[in-house]
Structure 1
Amino acid sequence: MKQVNAEIIAVGTELLLGQIANTNAQWISEQLALHGINVFYHGVVGDNQKRVADSFQLAQTRSDVVIVTGGLGPTDDDLTREAFQLISGLNVVEHGPSMEKIEAYFSRQNTVMTPNNRKQARVFSGSTVIMNEVGMAPGMIVEHDQTIWVFLPGVPREMKSLMREGVLPILSQKLDQHHVIRSYVLRFIGIGESKLEHELKELIDKQDNPTIAPLAQSDGVVIRLTAKALSDKQANLLLDQTKDAILAKVGEFYYGMNEETIQHRIVSLLRSQQCQIASAESLTGGKFIEKLISVPGASQVCKGSIVCYDASVKREVLHVSNEIIDQFGTVSEECAQEMAKNVADLLQASIGISFTGVAGPDPIEGKPVGTVYIGVYRDGEDSIVRKYEFLGDRETIRQRAALKGYELLYSLLKG
């Protein structure tokens, strides 16, 4: 199989300033993978002709296909055509059908067209022009020094239309691509990235097809498996075999695949065990239950939550005893234990989970910032409470506490 390597370049200073996110590159990469085309580089460059030309020159030396988004509009800072002219020497001409479409648009709007709008109809001589059905500037495909260049507007709706209707079919034909690239994302909780990589070192060292890539994310660790094959069936078989080998080593930490989140998995387990859950949240302030109720169908398993931030709420609403608070404090194993049981009783749930601790910026009750207690109660069983010492700022500690609650709950529910 001939390997075809692609590069995506986005042009626009607004991307560098963070005013908008470069979602185009992500979407284009996904589409190219479905057509068996590797994407090796993503680039973003501001509206400066020399810098754009320099980025184009580098791409020309290393990529078989370069897809450029943005810089095709009517204003002076739309410089994509001019930059490519510097490295290619190609002439730019006005594309009649596109110009007619632009003029017709202004006529329908009863608006006088300013002269700079003619710029949007300019294309490279000899290029394959793809009419823009949802905007003005057309797309172009140009072959220069054995590299295929694709120029597209930066507006996502226009870009996607041009890619689907014109670019992808033409690329498939030109490149004679008959293989596919498919990926699985395996999701893990309760194991760090370095530990996961250590456990899988032998498999990672021998990887070829599929490739194995461990990645740390805010809600756990994932492994991305990517396979290239002649068909979906063959690619999926390769992925399944590698997945089985991975789970044979670290399956105890695995909870789902692809888009399945830990909260989706928890809702599924609660439903299958006919359990309902309630939470008592102090430092997390509802973060745990907010993630849970984001899952469709969570109402079947979620009774509700009590945000008991102040000690008076713990006493008067959750009925944590004065003796517990006076003797051990609100940030304690004993308080977390009563919070978990009492919230389950109050909201008539079979499982209660509690969070209490110190998110900062100052210590509480002599406990340092980062001290967290999480309690889990299940009807008819003794509560379990775990103490943690989290590092990070206030928000990080709160996020990590909520995630650790999911880890504890997952461990309990899967037996």
Structure 2
Amino acid sequence: MVQCEIIAIGTELLLGQIQDTNSSWLGENLALIGVDNYYQSKIGDNEERIVDALKLALSRSDAIICCGGLGPTQDDITREAIAKATDSKLILNEKVAEKIEYMFSSRGRHMTQNNLKQAMIPKGGIAIEDQPGTAPGILFPFKNKVIYAVPGVPYELKQIMRSTILPDLKKRSGSTTIIKSRTLRTWGHTESKLAELLEPKIEQLNESQNTTLAFLASGIEGLKLRITVKGETEEEIAQQLDNEEKHIRSIIGDVVFGVNSETIEQRILKNLQDKNLTLSAVEIATDGLASTRLGKVDSLGKYFKGCIIPKSQLSKHQLLQHTQKESDFSETKRLADAVRNFFDSDIGLAITYSEKEGVNYLAISSNNILIEEAMKLPGDGVRVSQFSVITALNLLRVQIENNLV
């Protein structure tokens, strides 16, 4: 099994000026081709420290991926560090130099001479043919190991990884194993509650050696459960993922709102389409946050008809003229019913705030139901608003999917 180490280079990463999303993406994609990644590190723009990190990585890993430091400026020193760590020389690659010059001239721009620094490749190394930017990636075999260098720009990194480095690592590993993951997005149970419910399942999977289950708290995007399966064929893995998803859903109940990248608003839109229903909203506590998310997935307003944000007592009073529910109903319920009538939609959703109680409320109105729930949520004002939206939309999802609206 090949072990691959990741070194992210750039002082801006250490200062927190840029988030290191590249290392996370690399770790995930290495796992998907069956390559182990035990070490990840971040190093500033200091040649001596980068050389030390490379030497350490060469002592314990079969492959190294260096991210960043391939640009034309003085602090881009990844090439120099690789050459120094391996006692190699940097050689100008004429073909790459011509390609960089052409990139500038074809855009009507003058190329300064420092850009040719990007055409310097360690002797014995290869400039990766797929070059989306002016800095080429590098593939440098060293003894029985290999060092890769890729630009830090995420889209350039991903393109080079997909086209060249991941296939090369897969070939070097000699593995025929396929690894696939499926993510279930949930809302309604805490991480500790899910862990308690799934404890016997996790113990069973740990003994299986080919399937794992991991938790990832993702804030307003829900609590994610990632199922990862190893197998020899795509068909075998797909069947196993289907079986595990079905079993996990039976254990945790009706809290899964999406699979993989599916968001709560995308799920709501799909539910509305499937049932041929329309929705409108009134948002006092969340200032249109739910409506913004819904509007982005239904830009033409075919299923989500619109939103009202009545911040003043007068505007609330004007909206409440559209309901016949009397004052013995709560204001939140009456607002949900009023906005439904105002837009002539099948469902009305209201998210309000009780200043006296310090709690947000949600209500759902339709011809069949008029329900209300208090939302006691953690965090500051922004987080409470975000959590209120996903809580309200998730309750709406459950009502629609169970044919209650």
Q: Which residue in 1 is equivalent to 2:392?
A: 405
C-alpha spacing 1:139/1:353, structure 2 compared with 1 (3 Å): closer
Query: Is residue 2:324 matched to residue 1:336?
Result: no
C-alpha spacing 1:239/1:380, structure 2 compared with 1 (3 Å): closer
Letter in 2 for 1:171: L
Q: Please state whether the residue corresponding to 2:287 is helix, strand or coil.
A: coil
Over residues 176-211 of structure 1, what are the superposed CA-to-partner deviations in whole Å (9 max), with x where a residue is unaligned?
Answer: 232221100012221111101110001112323211
* Residues paired across the two proteins, number: 396
Q: Which residue in 2 is equivalent to 1:373?
A: 361
C-alpha spacing 1:266/1:117, structure 2 compared with 1 (3 Å): closer
Q: Which residue in 2 is equivalent to 1:173?
A: 171
Letter in 2 for 1:96: E
Distance in 1, Cα, partners of 2:314 & 2:131:
62
Over residues 293-342 of structure 1, what are the superposed CA-to-partner deviations in whole Å (9 max), with x where a residue is unaligned?
Answer: 22247723212111112221111233389x988xx9xxxx7111111111
Q: TM-score, normalised by structure 2?
A: 0.87
Is the CA contact 2:254–2:398 (under 8 Å) kept in the aligned structure 1?
Answer: no
Q: Which residue in 2 is equivalent to 1:256?
A: 258
C-alpha spacing 1:312/1:83, structure 2 compared with 1 (3 Å): same
Is the CA contact 2:336–2:348 (under 8 Å) kept in the aligned structure 1?
Answer: yes
Letter in 1 for 2:183: V
Distance in 2, Cα, partners of 1:212 & 1:60:
31
Q: Please state whether the residue corresponding to 2:88 is helix, strand or coil.
A: coil
Moved more, 305-314 or 154-163: 154-163
- In structure 2, stretches of 5+ residues that fail to align are none
Distance in 2, Cα, partners of 1:110 & 1:295:
40
Name which of 255, 272, 275 aligns with 2:274.
272
Letter in 2 for 1:395: V
Query: Is residue 2:5 matched to residue 1:4?
Result: no
Q: Which residue in 1 is equivalent to 2:224?
A: 222
Is the CA contact 1:283–1:357 (under 8 Å) kept in the aligned structure 2?
Answer: yes
Q: Which residue in 2 is equivalent to 1:351?
A: 347
Over residues 213-236 of structure 1, what are the superposed CA-to-partner deviations in whole Å (9 max), with x where a residue is unaligned?
Answer: 022222321100111222222222
Name which of 139, 145, 148 aligns with 1:147.
145
Letter in 2 for 1:265: R
Cα deviation for residue 61 of structure 1 reads: 3.6
Distance in 1, Cα, partners of 2:19 & 2:145:
27
C-alpha spacing 1:227/1:120, structure 2 compared with 1 (3 Å): same
Query: Equivalent residues in 2 for 1:14-53 (5 A)?
Result: 14-29=12-27, 31-53=29-51
Cα deviation for residue 29 of structure 1 reads: 4.3
Cα deviation for residue 268 of structure 1 reads: 1.8
Letter in 1 for 2:374: K
Q: Please state whether the residue corresponding to 1:206 is helix, strand or coil.
A: helix
C-alpha spacing 1:117/1:253, structure 2 compared with 1 (3 Å): closer
C-alpha spacing 1:104/1:338, structure 2 compared with 1 (3 Å): closer
Q: Please state whether the residue corresponding to 1:191 is helix, strand or coil.
A: coil
Q: Which residue in 1 is equivalent to 2:288?
A: 286
Cα deviation for residue 32 of structure 1 reads: 3.5
Letter in 1 for 2:218: Q
Q: Which residue in 2 is equivalent to 1:212?
A: 213
Distance in 2, Cα, partners of 1:252 & 1:161:
38
Q: Which residue in 2 is equivalent to 1:361?
A: none
Distance in 2, Cα, partners of 1:235 & 1:149:
31
CA RMSD in angstroms, aligned pairs only: 2.8
Cα deviation for residue 100 of structure 1 reads: 4.0
Is the CA contact 2:298–2:304 (under 8 Å) kept in the aligned structure 1?
Answer: no
Q: Please state whether the residue corresponding to 2:254 is helix, strand or coil.
A: helix
C-alpha spacing 1:53/1:324, structure 2 compared with 1 (3 Å): farther
Is the CA contact 2:281–2:291 (under 8 Å) kept in the aligned structure 1?
Answer: yes
Cα deviation for residue 283 of structure 1 reads: 1.1
Letter in 2 for 1:374: L
The percent identity for this pair of structures is 33
Is the CA contact 2:322–2:339 (under 8 Å) kept in the aligned structure 1?
Answer: no
Is the CA contact 1:209–1:238 (under 8 Å) kept in the aligned structure 2?
Answer: no
Is the CA contact 1:320–1:338 (under 8 Å) kept in the aligned structure 2?
Answer: no
Q: Which residue in 2 is equivalent to 1:306?
A: 308
Distance in 1, Cα, partners of 2:274 & 2:214:
32
Q: TM-score, normalised by structure 1?
A: 0.85
Q: Which residue in 2 is equivalent to 1:390?
A: 377
